[in-house]
A and B are shown apart, each in its own frame.
Chain A
Amino acid sequence: MKRLRVLIVDDSAVMRKIVERCLRQAGLELGEVSEAGNGAEALNLARQTVFDLILSDINMPTMDGLEFVRQLQTTENAGKVPVVMITTEGSESRVVEALSLGARGYIRKPFTPDQVKERVAALMEGVQ
Chain B
Amino acid sequence: MSTNHGANVGSSPNCPQCGFQLRQGGGGLATSAKLNPPRGVVETWAPVLEAATREVFEVMLGAPLTRRENGRHPPVTELTGMVGLAGYLSGILSVRCSHDSATRIAATMLGTDGPEAKQQLRDALGEICNMVAGSFKSKVAGLDEACVLSVPSVISGADYHLYSLVHGASIFVEFEFDRTPLWVTLDVECD
Contact = CB atoms under 8 A, between A and B. Distances in A.
Given A14-B123, A14-B124, A88-B131, A110 B138 contact: no
**Chain B, interface size: which category?**
20 to 34
A109 interface: yes
Contacts of B151: 11, 59-61
Contacts of A111: 59-60
Interface in A55-79: 59-61
A110 B145 contact: no
Contact of B144 (A15, A92, A110): A92
Contacts of B149: 59, 88-89
A31 interface: no
A21 B111 CA distance: 10
Interface in A8-38: 11-15, 17-18, 21
**Chain B interface, >50% SS class:** helix
B144 A14 contact: no
A110 B59 contact: yes
Given A14-B106, A90-B138, A112 B123 contact: no
A89 B85 CA distance: 12
**Chain A, interface size: which category?**
20 to 34
B59 A88 contact: no
Contact of A93 (B123, B130, B135, B145): B145
Q: Name the residue among A14, A60, A89, A90 with the largest chain B CB count within 10 angstroms.
A: A14
A73 to B, nearest CB: 24
B109 A14 contact: yes
B127 A12 contact: yes
A81 to B, nearest CB: 25
Contact of B127 (A14, A61, A89, A90): A14
Given A14-B120, A15-B127, A90 B134 contact: yes
B124 A89 contact: no
A48 interface: no
A88 B148 contact: no
Nearest to A91: B144
Interface of B: 55-56, 59-60, 106, 109-111, 120, 123-124, 126-127, 130-131, 133-135, 138, 144-145, 148-149, 151
15 contacts: A14-B124, A21-B111, A59-B151, A60-B151, A88-B130, A88-B131, A90-B134, A90-B138, A90-B144, A93-B145, A109-B60, A109-B130, A109-B131, A110-B131, A111-B60
